[in-house]
A and B are shown apart, each in its own frame.
Chain A
Amino acid sequence: MLAPIHHILGLTSIVRERVLPISGNVTVRLQQKVSANDIVAETKWAREHVLLDIARLLNVSPHVAERLVTCKVNDQLQADAEIAKGKGLFAKSIKTPRAGHVVAVGGGQVLMAVGETKIELRAGIPGTIIQILPSKGVVIQTSGGLIQGVWGNGRIASGSLVNLADTPDAVLTPTRLDVSLRGSIILAGMIKDIETLEAATELSVRGLIVSSIYPSLLSKAREMNYPILVTDGFGSLPMNSAAYKLLSTNAKRDVTINAEVYDRYTGAKPEVIIPLPTSTDPLTPNETEEFMIGSQIRMRRPPFMGMIGSITTIKHGLTTLPSGLQAQSAEVKLENGETVIAPLVNLEVVG
C-alpha cells in the first residue's frame, strides 16, 4: 500500500517547482542564486468579469449589435471608454463601466476582465535556479535540513533560529518573549492565547515554528505579518520527536520558513529549510513510499497522535479497531517502547 510521506530530514537535496497560476513573466535567470523572499515570476490576474449585452442595451438584434461593437479581443480599455454606438441622430453610446481588457466579443455581447491585480511569485526557498519554465515559473534547488509542517499562514521569512521550547510539549507565553529575540525565528511549543501572537508581532520576530495552535487562534494567526508554521496539528499537541530533535539541534543557524498553505493537488506543504553547505548534492527525498516493516512512521490520529514509531508487522486482512471499524493495519513500536495496532490510513512515513 502506498504511504503518504512527511519529510523530516537532516540533510537532503530540496528541489521545488514554483509556478504561477496563469501565464506571466519569469524575472530570474538560470543558475541565479535567490533568497526565499525574492520574486521569481509575476503576472496580472483579473478576478472579476463583466458581461455587456450590447444588443439588449441598444435594443437591437445580436446580429446588428455585432456591427456596432467597436472594440476587439485583447483591447485594453479605460473606464468610460466607448465600445459601441447606436445609429441615428440621438444615438445611444455604450461605455465600459470599469477599466479592463476585452476577453471575448460575439453574439452582440462583450466580455471584459476587470479589477486586475498583480501576482508576485516568491522563491519560497533559498537556492539556485536550475530550470526556467517559460511563462510559468522556475525550479529551485538547495541542500540542507527539511522539516515539513501541517499548517502555515502563507508567509515566508528567513532568520536565525532560537529555541524557546525546552521540551516538545512546552507552551509559549508572552513572558518568554523579550527584545533579545527581535529578528529571530522562534522554535516554540504550543500556542494557546492571542497575547502570545501579539507579543511576537510587537517584538518584530521573523517567524514562529510551533507544535500546535488552538483552532480559535487561526484567523488571528493568518493576519500576522510573520510566518507561522505548525508542525503537528491543532489543540494541545507536543512536537513530534523527529522534528523537535532536528530543529533544536540546529538552533542559532539561519533557517527559512515557507509557511505556504497546504495544496492537496500539488502536494505543497509548509516547510522549514535549514540551508547547509555541502561538497556534493545529497540525494533527493523519495516522493513515494510503501508501508514496510521497519518504516519510520508518524501517527496522524488518536490514540497516540503525533507519536513516532516503526512498523514491526503489517497485519494480513482487516483488523477490527477499538472503534469497531475494520481496516488494514500494522503493529507499530512507539518510541516509548509500547507496541500498538494502528490502521495504515492513519499513518504516514517519516523520511
Chain B
Amino acid sequence: MHFSPNIRPSLETEDTDPAERELARMIINIRKRQIKGVDLLDLWSGGHMLPTAYATGRMVRFLSKIYGSQKGILSVDVGASATTIAAAFRNKSTLKVLPQFGLGENLVGLLNYTTLENILKWCSLDITSGVLLDYLHQKSLYPSSIAATKEDLAISQAIARQTLSLAMQSASKDFPRNIATIKPNLTPLFDPILASGSTLSSASKPGLSLLLLLDGLQPVGITTVILDQNNLLPLLGVAASQNNLLPVQVLESGAFLSVGSVVAPVVSAKYGTSILKAKLNYENGAEANVDLKFGTIEVLPLANGESGRLTIQVPRGVDVGFGVGRGGSIPVSGGALGVVFDGRGRPLDLPTDPVRRRELIKKWTWTLGGA
C-alpha cells in the first residue's frame, strides 16, 4: 500500500503530481525486482532514476513554460515497449503511456485495435495480409531487430503510421478543453512537435521520419518538427531536477535534429486544386515561391541554422491557423528539409484504389527525399 496526498483536495482543484511521483517510484521498485542491475543503477544515480515516460512528461511541461506559446507542445515516442504521448498546454499537461501500441513484444496485440487492412493502407509496397501477420509475430520475438530489406522497412513504417494514429486518437481524449484548434475533431495546434523512438530515429532519411509523423499525427497549421534521435528528452527531464540550466544548454546545442517547419492547411478540395500560395524570403534577400495543390507535398529549402520569413495566402475555405481564408506572415527556422507544405488535407483521406494509393505514397516519399 502506498499513499499520496489527495489528487482532488477541493472540487475546483486537481493535483495529480504527488500521486504521479509515487507511481513513478513504484515502477522503479518493480523494475528493480524484475531486472538485474536496476537497483545498482538507482544507487549510482542517487535514487533519482525515473521511468522514461514520466521524465519525458516533466520535460515537455518545462518546455511549455519556456516557449509560453498559445499552441501546445507535443512529444511522441514510438518505442518497442509503448508509444508515449506527452502534451503540454501552458499550465496543463497530459501524459499517456500506451503499451498496447508498442512496436516490440506487444506488437501482435495491435490487432485488437486495428485490422491488417488498415495497416496495409499505409504500405508503399504490395504486401499481402499473410506476410504482414507473419511479420507482426516474428518482430514481437525480436523487438530490437531492424528492417534489413526494403519490404521489411515498408511494413515497419506502415505499422508505425497506424500505431501513431491510434495512439494520438487515444491520447487526444485526455487533452484539456479550450485549447487552440482549427477544427474540434482534428489534431490541436502544436508547436513544436518532438519525436523519438527507434522507428523514427533509425529511419535512413529525415524525410521518411517526417512523412511518418505527418501521416500518423496529421498536424495542422504551422509547426516545427524536431527529431530526438538520441532519445535525450527523458534524460533531460531527469537532469532538470538536479540542474535546471542543463536542459536549456543541451536544447540549444544542436543535439536535436530540426527536420523543418511544416505548413499543413485544413481544407477539403479536388485533387490538383490550388489551395495555398507562399513566398519564402531568405536572410540573404533571395526568395522562393510555392503554389501548393491539393493532394501534394511541396518543399522549400531552408538549411539548418538559417531563418526566413514566410508569407502565406490562402483562398476561401482554407485555414492554416490564421483563420478561414486568411493569410499571414511569420518567421520560420530551417531544418534538414526546410519548409514543408503538406497539401493533402485534414483529415488525410487516402485513395481507396490500392495501386493509386501506393503510387501516391511513393510520390510523397520521393518529394521528401525519403526514396
- Chain A residues in the interface with B (C-beta under 8 A): 103-104, 111, 150-151, 215-216, 218, 233-235, 262, 264-265, 300-303, 305, 320-327, 342-343, 345-346
The reply to whether A325 and B146 form a contact with Cβ atoms under 8 Å apart is yes
Residues of A within 8 A of B137 (CB): 215, 218, 233-235
Residue B7 lies at the interface, judged by CB distance under 8 Å to chain A:
no
Contact for A326 among B34, B144, B150, B204, CB less than 8 A: B204
B52 within 8 Å of A (CB atoms)? no
Residues of B within 8 A of A (CB): 1, 34-35, 105, 108, 130, 133-134, 136-138, 141-142, 144-153, 202-205
- Is the pair B150, A322 in contact by a Cβ cutoff of 8 Å? yes
Contact of A234 among B138, B147, B149, B203 (CB under 8 A): B138
Whether B152 pairs with A301 at a CB distance below 8 angstroms is yes
What total of A-B pairs shows CB separation below 8 Å? 86
Closest 5 CB pairs of A and B: A235-B134, A324-B204, A234-B137, A323-B153, A265-B34
The answer to whether B134 touches A215 (Cβ under 8 A) is yes
Complex interface: chain B residues within 8 A of A300 (CB): 141-142, 145
Contact B202 A151 (CB under 8 A): no
On whether the beta carbons of B141 and A302 are closer than 8 Å, the reply is no
- Residues of chain B within 8 A of A264, CB atoms compared: 105
**Chain B residues whose CB sits within 8 angstroms of the CB of A235 once the complex forms:** 130, 134, 137-138
Judging by beta carbons under 8 Å apart, are B142 and A301 in contact?
yes
Contact A324 B148 (CB under 8 A): no
Q: With A264-B105, A265-B35 in contact, is A323–B141 under 8 Å at CB?
A: no
A215 proximity list for chain B (CB < 8 A) = 108, 133-134, 136-137
Which residue of chain A lies nearest to B137 when distances are taken between CB atoms in the complex? A234
From B144, B152, B202, B204, give the contact of A302 (CB < 8 A): B152
Are B149 and A323 touching (Cβ within 8 A)? yes
Knowing that A215-B134, A346-B142 touch, tell me 9 more A-B residue pairs with CB under 8 angstroms.
A235-B138, A265-B34, A300-B142, A300-B145, A301-B138, A301-B147, A323-B152, A325-B153, A346-B146
Please name 30 pairs of A and B residues whose Cβ atoms are closer than 8 Å in the assembled complex, sorted by A.
A215-B134, A215-B136, A215-B137, A218-B137, A233-B137, A234-B133, A235-B134, A235-B137, A235-B138, A262-B141, A300-B141, A301-B138, A301-B148, A301-B152, A303-B149, A305-B138, A320-B204, A321-B146, A321-B148, A322-B150, A323-B146, A324-B153, A325-B146, A325-B153, A325-B204, A326-B204, A342-B148, A343-B146, A343-B148, A346-B145
* Chain B residues, CB < 8 A from A321: 146-149
A216 to B132, CA, bound (A): 12
Considering only CB atoms, which chain A residue lies closest to B136 in the complex? A215
> Is there contact, CB below 8 Å, between A325 and B138?
no
Given contacts A215-B133, A325-B204, contact A302 B142 (CB under 8 A): no
Does the CB pair B134–A323 fall under 8 Å?
no
